[in-house]
Amino acid sequence: MSRWRELDRGEEHEAAAAYRRRFEDLARRGVDVHGEAGLCSALVPTGSRVLDAGCGTGRVGIELARRGYQVAGVDLDAGMLAQARAVAPDLPWVEADLAAFDPAEHGLPGGFDLVVAAGNVIPLVAPGTEQAVVDTLARAVRPTGLVVAGFGLDAAHLPLEEAPFDLAEYDAWCERAGLELIDRTATWDGAPFVAGGGYAVSIHRRRE
């Protein structure tokens, strides 16, 4: 079972709706809730194919589609996906476990230009499947394509009592999956990463 499903979130669809409303409320108050989409937009040109991995309610993917990107989303949480489909019914939203996700099995061509995993996706997968998930993300992108993942490194930045792994472990999974680190920041808007920080956004490129 994924760590996400182990969290006590109440009724699935109600929790998903509340999650979506929280970000909508922040946006109405003038808070920029699209830092992830902003970074992705700076990394690949408009029109590029983007996979929103662990898409949740589709916040990142929907914003990228609004900016002109070709977007597909995948998540294991049916309640979250229902919210995404309610807002953007024309985008492909796939219910699948990232540890075993194959785009072709769901009618999606492979070779995405960028895969983004925002919202603590990697720390919340099932224990022991992290390497399989990173392998999935690496296979989904074309050679020289990018895998961008942001997640917390301590309890203050995670809905967990402690971080299940550190950056060295994550980088090792990426290395084994054929990905090389090209940049790392502390936030989605590009603040420099400092060793010991509580959050990291890592940008890896798939080797040719």
Contact call for residues 121 and 170 (beta carbons, < 8 A): no
Return the top range by mean pLDDT from 22-31, 151-160, 163-172.
Answer: 163-172
In the chain, domain spans:
3-206
Q: Whole-angstrom Cα distance, residue 138 to residue 178?
A: 7
pTM of the model: 0.89
Of 23, 80, 22, the closest CA to residue 55 belongs to 80
pLDDT tens, position by position, 1-40: 666 666 655 545 555 555 555 545 545 655 555 789 999 9
Contact call for residues 193 and 150 (beta carbons, < 8 A): no
pLDDT tens, position by position, 64-112: 999 999 999 999 999 999 999 999 999 999 999 999 999 999 999 989 9
pLDDT, residue 192, reads 96
CA dihedral 7, 124, 158, 147 (to 10 degrees): -160
- When the pLDDT of each residue in the chain is averaged and rounded to a whole number, the result is 89
pLDDT, residue 176, reads 98
pLDDT at 46 over 60: yes
Domain 3-206, classified CATH 3.40.50.150, yes or no? yes
pLDDT, residue 15, reads 57
pLDDT, residue 26, reads 47
With cut-offs at 50, 70 and 90, classify the pLDDT of residue 156: very high
Residue 149's contacts (CB-CB under 8 Å, 6 or more residues apart) are 116, 117, 118, 121, 122, 137, 170, 201, 202, 204
pLDDT, residue 34, reads 75
